[in-house]
Structure 1
Amino acid sequence: MRKLTLAVTAAASAISAPAFAGDLNVSIEIPRVSGASYHRPYVAVWIERPDNTAVRTLAVWYQQTANQEGDGKDWLKDMRTWWRRGGRALSLPADGVSSATKAPGRHSVTVPGARLSNLPAGDYVLVVEAARELGGREAVRVPFRWGVANTARATGATELGAVSVAVTR
C-alpha cells in the first residue's frame, strides 16, 4: 500500500509541476525618432495571462540616478499599463530586472528557464511598454505559448519597432 501511495503522490506532483524549462528570449527595437529634443524611452517588459493579469515583470529600463529634474523613479508611472498592473508594487532597483534606458537600436532580454520555473505551461502575452519624455507612449502585445518552442512577433507604430519573443528548449 505504501508503494502505491508514493507512486500516486509522485504522479500528482509531476502533473502539477511545470513541464518546461526552456528560456525566453525577447528582442525589442527602439526606433530612431527625429526631433530636436529626443529623450530615451522608459521601457517595461512583462508577462500577462490572456485575461490581462500580470504574471511577472522581466525588465524595466529607466534613469536610475537622480538629476536636476529629480529621481528617475518618479516617471515610471508614465508607463501607465505596467504601473497599474503591478509596477507600483515592485521595489526598484530589482536585481536582474532593472537597467538603464537604451539608445535607439535592437536590444534583447534573455530570461533563463530557471527564473520562470514556476510558470505553468500555457498561453501568455508578452507586453512591452515604452514612454518617452516629450514623446509618446506605446504598448506592444505579443501572444506566445510557454511550454513548447515557438516564436511570435508584433510591431509598434511610434515609440517601439519590432518586438519578438522566442521560447527555446
Structure 2
Amino acid sequence: MRLLPLALFSLLASYASADTFQVEVEVPRLRVAEYHAPYVAFWVENADRSTIVPLGLWYDDQEKWLKDIRQWWRRTGRGQQKPYDGLTGATRSPGKHQMDFSELQSLQKLPADEYQLVVEASREVGGREVVRLPFQWPASNHQQQQVNGTSELGTVTLSVRP
C-alpha cells in the first residue's frame, strides 16, 4: 500500500520538474481584398538543422495548401501523415494566440543543446514568412525571446522556464 503514494509522488515530481515551453503568436489584421487565415507551423531545430521536432500546425481542411508552408514541408511535413505530429488545430483569426508545448514528449526528450524555435506562416493569396527564436534546452533559468514579423506574423514570443 505504501508503493502507491510513492509512485504518485514520483510521477508528480517528474512532471513538476519538466521545463515549460510556451509560445505566443500574433496574427496581424491585414487590409487586403481577399483575406485568408494563415497556415502556421511550429518546430524546433538545432544549429545544424539535424534535429527536427514538430511542435504544432494550424491548418484547415484544405490540405493541398500545406505545401505552401515551404520550409516546414521540406524539413518535416511531407514525411508526416495525418494526424500531423505535435499539436494541430484550425487556422486562427487575427489576434494574439498562446500555445503551451510543455507536455510534448518529443520536446522533453531533447538532449541539452542550443536550439531554435521556427515559426512559419503562409496564406492563400498572400505571403509567407519565417521567424526564428534561439533558446537553450533544458532551461537553467527563465528565457524569453521575442521577434516581430514583417508581413504574415506579428510579434512572436517564446518563454522557456525550468
Where does residue 167 of structure 1 map in the other structure?
160
- Partners of 1:114 and 1:30 lie apart in 2 by 24
Q: Map Cα deviations across residues 15-74 of structure 1 (whole Å, 9 max, x no partner).
A: xxxxx720100111110000121000000010011112352111100013xxxxxxx111
The question of 1:22 aligning with 2:19 is answered: yes
Q: Displacement of 1:164 after TM fit?
A: 1.2
Where does residue 101 of structure 2 map in the other structure?
111
| TM-score w.r.t. length of structure 1 | 0.79
Where does residue 78 of structure 1 map in the other structure?
68
Number of aligned residues: 143
| TM-score w.r.t. length of structure 2 | 0.82
Q: Which amino acid aligns with 1:141?
A: R
Label 1:95 to 1:122 Cα distance change in 2 as closer, same or farther (>3 A): closer
The question of 1:39 aligning with 2:36 is answered: yes
- Partners of 1:54 and 1:83 lie apart in 2 by 15
Q: How does 1:85-100 map to 2 (within 5 A)?
A: 85-94=75-84, 97-100=87-90
The question of 1:136 aligning with 2:133 is answered: no
Where does residue 4 of structure 1 map in the other structure?
none
- Partners of 1:26 and 1:63 lie apart in 2 by 21
Label 1:34 to 1:54 Cα distance change in 2 as closer, same or farther (>3 A): farther
- Partners of 1:92 and 1:43 lie apart in 2 by 16
Paired-residue identity, %: 45
Q: Which amino acid aligns with 1:58?
A: L
- Partners of 1:137 and 1:54 lie apart in 2 by 23
* Partner SS, residue 18 of structure 2: coil
* Partner SS, residue 21 of structure 2: strand
- Partners of 1:48 and 1:95 lie apart in 2 by 15
Q: Displacement of 1:155 after TM fit?
A: 1.1
The question of 1:154 aligning with 2:144 is answered: no
Contact 1:47 1:124 in 2 (8 A): yes
RMSD over aligned CA atoms reads 1.6
